[in-house]
Amino acid sequence: MKYHDDLTRRYLKRRWAPWASTLAVTLGVFSLLTVLAVMEGFKVEMRERIRGTLSHLVVEADPFRGLVGEDSLLEAIRNTEGVEAAAPHVSTLALYKVGIMDHCVLRGIDPIPESKVSDLARYLLSDDEIDQMLSDKFSMLPPDREPSTAEEIAHVFSIERRRQIMSFRLNEDPGPGFTRESPPQAIIVGIEALRSFRLQMGDVVQISSYSPVTLEPCSGNFLVVGAFQSGVYEQDLRWAYTNIRALQDTLQLWDDSAEDMRISGISIKLEDFQKADEISETLHKEIQSRMSLPEDDPKSIPSRITSIETWEDKRANLIKAVEIEKRIISVLMLLIVAFASGMIFLILMLLVIEKERDLGVLRALGATRSGIVLLVLKQGMFLCTTGAILGLLSGWIFLENINEFHDFIFRMTGLQLFPPNVYYLERIPVVLRYQDVLLVCLPTLIFGFLGSVLPSMRAGRQDPIKALHHE
């Protein structure tokens, strides 16, 4: 109705209180949008980094029995439809001692196949890059950097490189049984292990663990020959790579009954990760049928395999944690919107009481009950949608320039809200998904409606005679 437009305009003009509720909605929408976009960006970034260090699928063996006869298994896996590459690995928890004692996750890899299944090639640092990283605590790899080739990775593990590295560390003792000419096996550590001075290039570290075969302690010496940066702090501090044969020897993985060296599992790269579940299903069947030796045969492979998991399964908790954080913060931010809707409720209630007489006059002039209800409802929804639009706009502008704002605050106050050394994020990641925008708008409008509906019902129920009775 025509009178709605004019009265809405007049009622909201020259009054500041209604706009306070709009401001509250703006604030709520702004915070909600910002939080969702940054958390989503953070999640995507995390996933990306975790994904790189893990392969698409991992065939995981029973930790105590390991996996034997990997050649035929690898063959079978590589021939499966949709599989691009497969590589064996051994992994163990280990303690190492240089100056201090610390623990790490040590993976024995076969360099050339490994380079085809994971992003190690992208994370492996050249010597120049290591120097640069160590001189600047916050520096990160440029994203468009050329990945190392399989040969380069193999070279890092090679005897020539170990000899060369030893030649720079004249004071380093290669350890019993080793000489400068036949140095210990190579180990590649994360850049944070170097940055935190736990380890140094050219260090000979003694690694200790338990052999899953003999269940006795075992140890071996390794020479730090390189470093990688995955971008996930925890991994860059605790993960280390060595040659699979060297680690098999150290861990005494020779399986007498099967007459083969054990491995811990097989990493698989797929042509299309979207098909991971499907392919893992096929692999299961494949392995079951092709390796159908009797259950008690030591070479029986299926009984030694515990799972075939995607990398997402393996790191589900980490990603879920971010997802849950995102949800919790969103709910908290929604409280701001709920608060704003409470403000709309109060303001409309006051308006209905203040304008009781006006509404009575309108009824006397022929306005319908529903017309009066709509008049009040429209005011509430107008305040709410204005707030939502302003919030979306300001949020969008803010997100577009979030790093500039961050830099500005840093320059002004020296406050680093997002320390790059924790998450290695030089820039605050932002991913604005339309689902999230919807997730912001919908509850806001619903809350706005809920806040407006009671006052408008009250306005509609008012008795015009009573309203007109007094001046």
Q: Which residues bind another protein (CB under 8 A)?
A: 1-7, 10-11, 357-358, 360-369, 371, 464-465, 468, 470-471
Q: CA 90, CA 39: separation in Å to the nearest integer?
A: 34
Q: Which of 82/371 has CB closer to another protein? A: 371
Q: Which is nearer to another protein, 328 or 364 (CB)?
A: 364
- C-alpha to C-alpha distance for 154 and 146, rounded to whole angstroms: 17
What's the CA angle centered on 131, arms 128 and 135, to 5 degrees?
A: 140
Q: Which is nearer to another protein, 15 or 433 (CB)?
A: 15
CB 356 to another protein: min, Å: 12
Write down the least CB distance from residue 464 to another protein, Å: 5
Contacts of 210 (CB under 8 A, 6+ apart): 216, 217, 218
Q: Return d(Cα 44, Cα 49) in angstroms, integer.
A: 9
CB distance 15 to 275 below 8 Å: no
State the sign of the Cα–Cα–Cα–Cα dihedral 450, 451, 454, 457.
negative
What minimum distance in Å lies between the beta carbon of 463 and another protein?
9
CB of 355 to another protein, least distance (A): 8
Are the CB atoms for 377 and 458 separated by under 8 Å?
no
430 Cβ contact list (under 8 Å, min separation 6):
37, 38, 40, 41, 399, 402
Nearest distance, CB of residue 384 and another protein, angstroms: 21
Distance of closest approach, residue 361 Cβ to another protein, in angstroms? 5
Instruction: Report the distance separating Cα 38 and Cα 35, nearest Å.
Output: 5
Nearby residues of 465 by Cβ (< 8 Å), 6 or more positions away: 360
As a whole number of angstroms, the distance between CA 93 and CA 103 comes to 7
Quote the crossing angle between the two packed helices 2-12 and 17-53, to the nearest 10°: 90
Kindly state the smallest distance separating residue 8's Cβ from another protein, in Å.
10
Closest approach of another protein to the CB of residue 369, in Å: 7
Give me the residue label for tokens 């006052």: 455
Q: How far is the CB of 451 from another protein (least distance, A)?
A: 22
CB 382, min distance to another protein, A: 15
Residue 254 has which token pair? 């020779």
Q: Indicate the residue among 326 and 363 with the shorter CB distance to another protein.
A: 363
Strand pairing category for 185-190 and 217-228: parallel
Contact 367, 3 (CB under 8 A): yes
Closest residue by Cα to residue 149 from 182, 116, 127: 116
Q: How far is the CB of 434 from another protein (least distance, A)?
A: 32
Q: Give the nearest distance from C-beta 380 to another protein in angstroms.
A: 17
Nearer to another protein, 223 or 359 (CB): 359
- For residue 65, what are its two tokens? 């029995």
Between 11 and 345, name the residue whose CB sits nearer to another protein.
11
